[in-house]
Amino acid sequence: MPMLRGRAREEAVLVRLLDGARSGSGGALLLSGAPGVGKTALLDLAAALAGPAFLVLRVSGVEPESRLPYAGLHGLLRPVAAAASALPEAQARALTQALESGSGGGGLALPAAVLGLLAAVAADRPVLACVDDVDRLDRESREALAFAARRVPGEPVVLLFAARDGGPDGVPARALGGLDEAAVRELAGDLATVRLPEDLLAALDQIARGNPQALGELIGALTPDQLAGLAAPPATLPRGGRLWREHAARLAALPADARRLVLLIAADPGLDVATLIEAARPACALATLEPAERAGILHSAGDRYDFREPAMRAVAYFDASLSERRRAHRRLAHLLDAAQATGRPDADGRTDTDGAADAGGRGGAE
């Protein structure tokens, strides 16, 4: 069975839910958090804890299928679809249409059919249904599963959801943060082939901020010289790693104007809103950052914008082309010169290499 460092409380919640389902009354839970924080690992743990006594159903949301009605339900319920014949006729028809042709119709017939199907197959043995990346599922599947999740406490069924942002309404939720210092040390001991020096581990966690996936990728990319203290520790996530690629894909999905402003913020973490507004002119307005806020990349922190995930700053900076970074620094330098000429204070005096150094991962809010 997998061991998850620093997740004893979450494991206890999973055990209670599974024990409840064994006794005939399960429940639902939404796990939320940043990429790499351990949501999928907790779903894996739940499946391992359930064991052969449970029927385990799983599906993961994927972006290309998010616009296909009922694609998520098809992936989750296909193994037990034959049991729909035991449902009331209207429910069986709605479910069959949804799974076969993607047209479930309106009303309560389909959501009730999802709940009824889970309850029917749970008559033989309890059911654990795990829905990873539920925020990437199609809307129709999300709504039907949310309906079922709010009603499973009366059935031998556990519905677990994992999402970066959002998730089904009305479902108990647990937000996952970074691991504490003790758990980071334990996880590093599990992952590293040798004991890491304390200063090296501290440098790695300045980037990872307790994110298990990030820590694992950083440790896996260490060179012999870094392990021996003969070379400086890494300043960013490994560029070929899964987290870097995922962060880069989220940034690439933003409109071009938003990416330009995000790069300015990455280049100078001390950039205040007034200076950012000045930097945005005349090409775009501050509202241009709204897509980055909706995507969970940035959040407003007083008179500044900050990155929700510290490692995202380095990706936003170093994944930009050299010419894009140079343009950003020229723009910031121009604003500083203008501020000094008029006697107006700048953001906090950092517009060039200081900001770029911070982009290496030291700073930001969780």
Tokens of 266: 């990455």
Confidence (pLDDT) at 221: 95
Residues of the chain where predicted confidence (pLDDT) is lower than 70: 1-2, 105, 280-285, 339-366
Q: State the pLDDT at residue 365.
A: 34
Q: What pLDDT does residue 364 have?
A: 35
What pLDDT does 28 receive?
A: 98
Give 107-135 pLDDT, tens digit per residue.
799 999 999 999 999 999 999 999 999 99
- The pLDDT of residue 2 is 60
d(CA 189, CA 115) in angstroms, rounded, equals 43
**Each residue of 216-252: pLDDT tens digit?**
999 999 999 999 889 999 999 999 899 999 999 999 9
Q: Give phi and psi for 331, each to the nearest 5.
A: -65, -45
What pLDDT, on a 0 to 100 scale, did the predictor assign at position 166? 79
What is the structure's pLDDT at 347? 45
pLDDT at 345: 52
Residue 342 pLDDT? 61
